[in-house]
Amino acid sequence: MPIGEFGGAPPEATEAAPVLTTPLYWMYEMGQASLNPLRAMSDATKLLFQNPLNPLAHTDVGKSIAASCELFERTTRRYGKPEWGIKDVEVAGMRVPVTIQTIWERPFCKLLHFERMVARPPRTPQPRVLLVAPMSGHYATLLRGTVEAFLPNHEVYITDWADARMVPLSAGRFDLDDYIDYVIEMLQFLGDNVHVVAVCQPSVPVLAAAALMETSRDPHVPLSMTLMGGPIDTRRNPTAVNNLAQERGIDWFRNTVITRVPFPHPGFMRDVYPGFLQLNGFVSMNLDRHIDAHKNLFRHLVEGDGDSAQKHREFYDEYLAVMDLTAEYYLQTVDTVFVKHALPKGEMTHRGKPIDLSQIVRIALMTVEGEKDDISGLGQTEAAHALCSSLSADKKVHYVQKGVGHYGVFNGSRFRSEIVPRISDFMQNAAQGRKLHVVSRRPNARSAVD
How would you write 12-34 as a 3-class SS string?
Answer: HHHCCCCCCCCCHHHHHHHHHHH
The pLDDT of residue 125 is: 78
Instruction: Name 2's Cβ contacts closer than 8 Å, sequence gap at least 6.
Output: 136, 137, 241, 278, 281, 282, 285
The pLDDT of residue 433 is: 77
Question: What pLDDT, in 10s, does the model give residues 273-293?
Answer: 999 988 887 788 778 989 999
The pLDDT of residue 119 is: 73
Q: Which CATH class is domain 89-245+326-441?
A: alpha beta
Domains of the chain, by residue range, sit at 89-245+326-441
Question: What pLDDT, in 10s, does the model give residues 21-63?
Answer: 558 888 888 999 999 999 999 999 999 999 999 999 999 999 9
> Cα 105 from chain centroid?
18
The pLDDT of residue 21 is: 53
Residue 262 DSSP class = P
Residues of the chain with pLDDT under 50: 1-20, 436-450
CA–CA distance, 315 with 417 (Å, rounded to integer)? 21
